[in-house]
Amino acid sequence: MTVTTPYGPRTGTGPVVMRLEQVSRWFGNVVAVNDVSMTIGPGVTGLLGPNGAGKSTLIHLMSGFLPPSSGTVTVDGEPTWHNENIYRRIGLVPEREAMYEGISGWDFVLANARLHRLPDPKAAATRAIETVDMQSAAARDVAGYSKGMKQRIKMATALVHDPDVLLLDEPFNGMDPRQRLQLMDLMTELGANGRVVLFSSHILEEVEQIAGGIEVMVAGRHAASGDFREIRRLMTERPHQYTIRSSDDRALAAALIADGSTSGVELGVQAGSAVLNVQASDYHRFARRLPVFARERGIRLYEVTPADESLEKVFSYLVNR
Ligand SMILES: Nc1ncnc2c1ncn2[C@@H]1O[C@H](COP(=O)(O)OP(=O)(O)OP(=O)(O)O)[C@@H](O)[C@H]1O
């Protein structure tokens, strides 16, 4: 992918605004998206959440291809569902691999340019394919593409009509580090040029690298919203659980209880040996004080292991706080 895109500043007037108001979507008994309201403006926004959080459903609702069961999704005040005017302004990079195989990358992008009834579909397809650096493979059948190449050709079809809003579902899946960086540059540039660029991911570090704003989804609900510092803070300031092995668990437990950086300290047994289970309520203080306590009392720390570091646990804390 080229770093500088041929897509310059957005041509429309006023900033683009995508607004979701009390949007829910259910499939039978499953509530995939539950009463979500958010406003997304120009720039890169990360939609962060664990598997099954409702990110793909939300992206399809935003794109106008899936109707909400209740609530509204609008771009500049116009509902996206079934709205041809809005389809022209939105580009979607779906997560699914199911693409129309048996045609070349070039034909695939060109077909999309024609669907949008662009005045010069060939020029638009050429521009999009060059932007994702797929010129050399464009004549080949999509079926033979690697996962990263499929991602890039999907990106070209989404870009072909130069949309104001670009929605990307897990776009970095299957990309090597170089392709990932190039796509990040491209998304950053499109965002800086006034477009709404929203992408989903379940990896905080990935989102932090490029997203100005982060919207966190958990179990269908909108769990948190902010810039990466705020989201990072919410995640690191939650109570952390540790398993500690030391030369004197009792003395260490007494010191930790007296200190106030913990909300729970208990002696336990794990895999046949004594451990200390600690819930640290003030993570930063706990991390500073623990080695000091041990040193002052001549206690040796053999092991300090975080017990609840799975991303799912972190996310569920955000929902239940
Ligand atoms: N067409 C459908 N029919 C029934 N249930 C669905 C449908 N689409 C999504 N769901 C359910 O809605 C919930 C949210 O799914 P969704 O794919 O939106 O989550 P996600 O955050 O994108 O997860 P992943 O990262 O695993 O794709 C899940 O429980 C899923 O099984």
Whether 57 is covered by a domain: the verdict is yes
In a shared domain, residues 226 and 258:
no
Q: What is the pLDDT of residue 4?
A: 60
Residue nearest to atom 6 of ligand 1 (CA): 27
Residue 301 lies in domain = 238-320
In a shared domain, residues 160 and 132:
yes
Q: Does residue 249 carry a pLDDT above 80? A: yes
If you average pLDDT over each of 24-28, 179-183, 232-236, 240-244, which comes out highest? 24-28
In a shared domain, residues 96 and 206:
yes
* Mean of pLDDT values over 15-29: 95
In a shared domain, residues 144 and 276:
no
CA 96 – ligand 1 centroid, Å: 12
**Do 218 and 231 contact (CB within 8 A), yes or no?**
no
Whether 13 is covered by a domain: the verdict is no
* Mean of pLDDT values over 257-265: 86
CA 46 – ligand 1 centroid, Å: 18
Q: What is the pLDDT of residue 1?
A: 44
Which residues line ligand 1 at a C-beta cut-off of 6 Å? 27, 30, 32, 49, 51-57, 202
Q: Last residue of a domain, which of 188, 213, 235?
A: 235
For residue 224, name the pLDDT band (cuts at 50, 70, 90): confident
CA 88 – ligand 1 centroid, Å: 26
Q: What are phi and psi of 296, to 5 degrees?
A: -60, -35
CA 219 – ligand 1 centroid, Å: 10
Q: Say what the ipTM of the complex is.
A: 0.95
Q: Which residue has the tokens 């009390």?
A: 22
Whether 188 is covered by a domain: the verdict is yes
Residue nearest to atom 4 of ligand 1 (CA): 27
In a shared domain, residues 259 and 223:
no
In a shared domain, residues 171 and 275:
no
For residue 319, name the pLDDT band (cuts at 50, 70, 90): low
* Mean of pLDDT values over 27-46: 95
Q: Last residue of a domain, which of 217, 235, 253?
A: 235
d(CA 238, CA 268): 23
Q: Which residue has the tokens 């659980």?
A: 241
CA 26 – ligand 1 centroid, Å: 10
Whether 229 is covered by a domain: the verdict is yes
- Torsion of Cα atoms, 5 then 9 then 11 then 17, to 10°: 110
Query: In testing the pocket of ligand 1, which one of 23, 26, 29, 30 has its CB within 8 Å of the most ligand atoms?
Result: 30
For residue 316, name the pLDDT band (cuts at 50, 70, 90): low
Whether 286 is covered by a domain: the verdict is yes
Domain count for the chain, please give it: 2
Whether 142 is covered by a domain: the verdict is yes
In a shared domain, residues 164 and 46:
yes
CA 198 – ligand 1 centroid, Å: 18
* Mean of pLDDT values over 221-232: 85
Residue nearest to atom 23 of ligand 1 (CA): 52
CA 68 – ligand 1 centroid, Å: 14
In a shared domain, residues 109 and 133:
yes
Whether 11 is covered by a domain: the verdict is no
For residue 283, name the pLDDT band (cuts at 50, 70, 90): confident
In a shared domain, residues 32 and 143:
yes
For residue 304, name the pLDDT band (cuts at 50, 70, 90): confident
Q: Last residue of a domain, which of 235, 258, 289?
A: 235
Q: Does residue 3 carry a pLDDT above 60? A: no
Residue nearest to atom 10 of ligand 1 (CA): 32
For residue 314, name the pLDDT band (cuts at 50, 70, 90): low
Read off the DSSP letter of residue 136: G
* Closest CA relative to residue 244, chosen from 281, 285, 291: 291
Residue nearest to atom 3 of ligand 1 (CA): 27
Higher pLDDT among residues 281 and 308, named by residue: 281
Q: Does residue 310 carry a pLDDT above 70? A: no
* Closest CA relative to residue 193, chosen from 2, 16, 64, 1: 16
CATH number where 304 lies: 3.30.70
In a shared domain, residues 190 and 282:
no
Measured from the CA of 49, which atom of ligand 1 is nearest? 21
CATH number where 25 lies: 3.40.50.300
Measured from the CA of 28, which atom of ligand 1 is nearest? 4
* Mean of pLDDT values over 17-40: 96
What percent of the chain clears pLDDT 90, i.e. is strictly above it? 59
Report helix, strand and coil shares of the chain as percent, to nearest 5.
40, 30, 35
In a shared domain, residues 41 and 120:
yes
pTM (2 decimals)?
0.80
Q: pLDDT averaged over the chain?
A: 88
In a shared domain, residues 299 and 168:
no
Encoding tokens for residue 226?
């902010």
Task: Read off the pLDDT of residues 134-159 as tens digits, 9 standing for 90 and up.
Answer: 999 999 999 999 888 999 999 999 99
Whether 54 is covered by a domain: the verdict is yes
* Mean of pLDDT values over 129-136: 94
